[in-house]
Structure 1
């Protein structure tokens, strides 16, 4: 009887030990699942909430998002090139090409994801036709956005452009005919927002107007096509095919991410799928 009881006891201990081993294995697997990689993504002020909108969708892909805000539109590229970021999401390819050309960097534009629009705004005039001679109009300082504004200006009939002189992009020097003798004043984003009070008009992005608590739809002229200026993920050359890139793109394109972007920016952005 004692031998039988001892055998049963030993068997029970063995089963219990196996159970513990199995549980331990499961716990380890659970711990492995909880390990997530943190992605540091840089952004400029007009797209901060776009990047934040991805957080939940990206977490489902196994990544935690750390958004790094920059006030300057060049610093996210500087930080990325120096290695303090994994990527950035705020610029279109022409801007990146210009930055790479000017700084000798080799940052890569992975894929277009979304985009805003450039338009001409005025608090003094209700139409392009009303803009008088010798009017002062604010325009972007950086090369790619200045090119974009100049194309819009020609489309709107403000002036005529000659041949582009800066690697296929127009500059202020390329204005061939300026019948109203307009003075174009280069300004940064903040200056363009504030300039509406003092100047006759300003070229600006709809999202920048929105963030300045101005109506992005109050423009008197808008560009015809913005597909060339779609904003996309930018990484270092060696990270173009990194493991996290595809999940990042997938997380951006979820309905949850787009819904959050639309609710915050009130339709100021369109998507490029």
Structure 2
């Protein structure tokens, strides 16, 4: 009886040791991940390709950049594990998306961000906009608010003082002297609306993807830090070594050089300005 008890104790100890080793091995494997798939929308996929990928490859990673053309799939891909990090969204959008889709996401580091601009094929200034003109704006809440806020900041419309400019909607407009007619559409489709509406508030990344010049915007928005785009990962992975190396790549002189040469006119996060 005693012999069997001793054998049982030994067996349990062996199983425990193997289990612990397995856990450590799994954790080490996770931290030492060397094949990365990073996702983003244009121009952030290009930013990853030119400013992040070469740096990571110098550190021994194999890196693939996956390009997306909407604001939904990059996060769903992150959730499914088909990509390891993405770059296209700001903190406000990330939190709203995570809550709605039962995800746990974390921002890693902010990057220079393309502004939303007010564009028109018909008008060269906001003063020229005629009464009753049609304005296309994004249909997702955050970018809709950004588009309206650009117009508010430039005196075209007004909100009440207690309205959060990051959550503003058409119903929050208190003064609309030009009697503008707002038409929400999917953000990716905004550049195409310029032939059918009078004015369009276009996200910078989609403007660039459509071959538009950011400098052609009548006016551009001013971004607070929580509306500047960031690298995003699943929160469970935020302490992994590859995530730390992605942040290191973004903070590198090589990344800064790419931004200065190829992404001019982008809003810069505070850390980028201060270096």
3-state SS of the aligned residue for 1:116? coil
2:78 pairs with 1:80: yes
Larger Rg: 1
> Which deviations, in whole Å up to 9, do the C-alpha atoms of 1:101-142 show, x marking residues without a partner?
222221112221221211211111111111111100110111
2:247 pairs with 1:249: yes
3-state SS of the aligned residue for 1:244? helix
Once residues 184 and 267 of structure 2 are traced to their aligned partners in structure 1, the CA distance between those partners, rounded to angstroms, is 27
Q: 1:76 to 1:150 in 2, by over 3 A?
A: same
Contact 1:262-1:269 within 8 A present in 2 as well? no
2:159 pairs with 1:147: no
2:162 pairs with 1:189: no
Once residues 111 and 35 of structure 2 are traced to their aligned partners in structure 1, the CA distance between those partners, rounded to angstroms, is 21
Trace 1:197-236 onto structure 2 (pairs within 5 A): 197-236=195-234
Per the TM alignment, residue 232 of structure 1 is displaced from its structure 2 partner at its CA by 1.0
1:45 to 42, 47, 51: 42
Once residues 39 and 245 of structure 2 are traced to their aligned partners in structure 1, the CA distance between those partners, rounded to angstroms, is 17
Once residues 45 and 116 of structure 1 are traced to their aligned partners in structure 2, the CA distance between those partners, rounded to angstroms, is 10
Once residues 252 and 218 of structure 1 are traced to their aligned partners in structure 2, the CA distance between those partners, rounded to angstroms, is 28
| Structure 1 length-normalised TM | 0.80
| Structure 2 length-normalised TM | 0.79
Contact 1:36-1:64 within 8 A present in 2 as well? no
Per the TM alignment, residue 264 of structure 1 is displaced from its structure 2 partner at its CA by 3.8
Contact 1:110-1:240 within 8 A present in 2 as well? yes
Query: RMSD over aligned Cα, in angstroms?
Result: 2.1
